[in-house]
Each structure stands twice: as C-alpha cells, then as structure tokens.
C-alpha cells in the first residue's frame, strides 16, 4: 500500500441515480480491507464546504446495495463553482487530513473535481454515474441500465392501454443533451420512432412513418422522445403531428424523475461494485486525478482532464438498427 495514503473521503454529487449505494459500499469495504480510514461527505460538495463529514465503517454500508438514492445524500452546489467555495472545501480536506477524495458523479461534478484538483493540489478520483450514460471514458455509467429498464417497464404498460384504445403515445424520457436512454429503450420496446438530440427531427418524416404503420393496420404506436430533442419535447411534437395525422387518438406521457429512482438492477449493482473496488485499488497503487470506467468489459482509468474535455458520442449503429426494425 502507498505509505502516504491513510484517510480518504467519498462523496456523491449532482443528481441521484440507482446504484450509488452499491458504489459507496464497495468504496468503504475495499478501503477498510486496505487499512484505510474512510469518511463520508454528506450532501455533496455543499457538505464538503461546510465540513459535514461522518465516519464510515463496515456496518455503515450493510443492507444498502439494493437501495436506490444515496445514504450520503447529494446536491448540486453553486458554492463549489466559486473560488471562495473551492477554497473552503480545500481547507476542509486539509484540516481533516484527507489524502484523497473519491467523487461519485457525472459530467458537471467531474468538471468541478478537475478544477478543484488543479487549483488546490488535491488528489481526486472519480466514479461515473448518470442515467444519461454520456461520460467519456466508460462504456456504461452507474444508473443507466436501471433507468432504461424503468422506461421499458413503463412503456410496456403504456403499450397495453394504447393497443386497447387504438392510440398513439408520445413517451418523453430523460436526456437533455444525450439520447442514450431514448435510443436504447426505444429499441427494446419496439418503438415506431425514436427522437433524440443527436439527430434532426422532421415532423413530415415522422408523419410518414406513422401513416405507414396505420396502413399496416397497427393497433397502437409508440414514439419515444428524449426531453432535449430539437423539435421541442413530446408535447410540442405531438401537437404538430395531430395536425397532420388523425389515424389514432394521440396521448403524451412524461416519465420524468421515476427514471432516477428505484432499486438498481443486478447489472448496475455489479458495475458499481466493480468501479468502487477499482477506484480504491487504483489509489493504493498510487493513481491520481483519474476516472475509473469499464471499456470492453475491462477496468480502464482515464485522466480527469481527458474526461472533461471530451464528449461521448452515441453509437450510430443503434440509430440504424432502430430505423430498420421499426419498418
């Protein structure tokens, strides 16, 4: 073990998602295995600024792997974005003799962590979590698999009522800047169309797809819409479509924050456990200022500077698959 490493702290920042507790559990138990003290920071970066730290033991993380949310709470911190806020946070790290900070967060959290590290010289190691799955340096982030399964379960139920009433449903899912939830869940539920920020939405083309389904005597149709789609979201698109397509009664369903809650899937529990374990192993080996991810099912470390300066792109082959299979 690295002799200068004796105490670390873990924090969950930004929006919540399923799998955070599994990651915390892995971080805590791997740290204790290596003889490290482990502190938990409550309420994200705001808690770091105010010094809201608690001791974490093995028993602290018992019976949490199946729970959604985060036992450490989380927040989006405007104070941490300021020079003064970061200075106060750095003072807390140093006064509490913390040798490294483990941040379980997303893109915004990592940008703050990278700046915090470069300005104040604090070792920050990161674990990716976001239901959007848009973080560079990992094939999948914690929370994505559960969110997709939540959408699939909801849309399967919506499809039942849509078929009973000959209805067209526009289902809006989360994804302000990324269409990964919409694209993946849309393929899984056999959606007639999938509208995402990464592609241009043309209402005329969408109407043609729906008319083709009507001619084939479909009894229901589902259109999955990412909230950040360029045409303005499910309600706006549905209104435009209703002017041109009257074959089915049209409804809109906004799934909203239910996608961020619930018990994590087995895939998210295993991913969170792998990443939580790997980040501590990396620290013990002397790694600094990196994010741990999984690429081609192998643990991979990426410098934080690369993570925040690159954007993860959607898999274009999935767009092709979605289009072809909806014919």
Of these residues, 132, 134, 145, 268, which one is catalytic?
A: 132
pLDDT for 209 beyond 80:
yes
Mean pLDDT of the chain: 94
The string of DSSP codes covering 57-79 is -GGGGTT-TT-SS-TT-----SG
The whole-number average pLDDT for the span 155-174 is 92
- Rounded Cα distance, 65 and 75, in Å: 21
Intrachain domains 7-143+264-308 and 144-261 with the same fold: yes
Give the pLDDT of residue 218: 82
What pLDDT, on the 0 to 100 scale, is given for residue 61? 98
Name residue 252's beta-bridge partners.
Answer: 170
Whether the per-residue pLDDT at 272 is higher than 60: the answer is yes
In terms of pLDDT, which residue wins out, 143 or 162? 143
Compute the distance between CA of residue 35 and CA of residue 240 in angstroms, rounded to an integer: 61
Is 132 among the catalytic positions?
A: yes
What is residue 296's predicted lDDT score, i.e. its pLDDT? 97
Digit-coded pLDDT (tens) for 32-69: 999 999 999 999 999 999 999 999 999 999 999 999 99
User: What is the secondary structure of 186-223 as a DSSP string?
Assistant: HHHHT-SEEE-TTS---HHHHHHHHHHHHHTT-S-EEE
State which CATH number among 1.20.120.550, 3.40.50.720, 3.40.50.450, 1.10.3720.10 fits the domain covering 7-143+264-308.
Answer: 3.40.50.450
Q: Which CATH superfamily is domain 144-261 in?
A: Phosphofructokinase domain (3.40.50.460)
Do the beta carbons of residue 99 and residue 8 sit within 8 Å?
A: yes
Strands of the sheet containing 290-295, edge to edge, are 53-55, 37-41, 7-12, 100-105, 124-128, 290-295, 298-303
Quick one: pLDDT at residue 3?
Answer: 52
The encoded tokens of residue 198 equal: 């990464």
Report the pLDDT value the prediction gives residue 217, as an integer from 0 to 100.
82
Output the pLDDT for position 1.
Answer: 43
pTM: 0.95
Domain locations along the chain = 7-143+264-308, 144-261
Is the pLDDT score of 192 beyond 50? yes
């Amino acid at each position: 073990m690295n002799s200068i490493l004796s105490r670390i702290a873990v924090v969950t920042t930004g929006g919540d998602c399923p799998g955070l507790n599994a990651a915390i559990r892995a971080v805590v138990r791997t740290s204790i295995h290596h003889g490290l003290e482990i502190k938990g920071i409550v309420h994200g970066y705001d808690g770091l600024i105010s010094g809201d730290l608690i001791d974490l033991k093995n028993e602290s993380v018992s019976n949490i792997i199946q729970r959604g949310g985060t036992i450490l709470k989380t927040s989006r911190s405007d104070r941490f974005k300021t020079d003064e806020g970061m200075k106060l946070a750095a003072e807390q790290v140093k006064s509490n003799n913390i040798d490294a900070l483990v941040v379980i967060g997303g893109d915004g959290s990592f940008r703050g962590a990278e700046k915090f590290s470069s300005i104040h010289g604090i070792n920050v190691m990161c674990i990716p979590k976001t239901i959007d799955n848009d973080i560079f340096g990992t094939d999948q982030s914690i929370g994505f698999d559960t969110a997709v399964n939540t959408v699939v379960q909801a849309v399967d139920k919506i499809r039942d009522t849509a078929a009973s009433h000959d209805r067209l449903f526009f289902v809006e899912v989360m994804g302000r800047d990324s269409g990964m939830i919409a694209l993946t869940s849309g393929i899984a539920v056999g959606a007639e169309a999938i509208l995402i920020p990464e592609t241009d939405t043309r209402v005329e083309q969408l109407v043609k797809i729906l008319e083709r389904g009507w001619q084939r005597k479909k009894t229901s149709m589902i259109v999955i819409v990412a909230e950040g789609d360029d045409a303005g979201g499910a309600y706006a698109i549905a209104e435009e479509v209703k002017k041109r397509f009257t074959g089915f009664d049209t409804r809109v369903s906004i799934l909203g924050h239910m996608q961020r809650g619930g018990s994590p899937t087995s895939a998210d529990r295993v991913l969170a456990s792998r990443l939580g374990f790997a980040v501590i192993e990396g620290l013990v080996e002397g790694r600094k200022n990196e994010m741990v991810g999984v690429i081609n099912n192998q643990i991979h470390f990426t410098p934080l500077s690369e993570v925040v300066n690159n954007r993860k792109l959607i898999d274009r082959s999935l767009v092709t698959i979605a289009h072809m299979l909806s014919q």
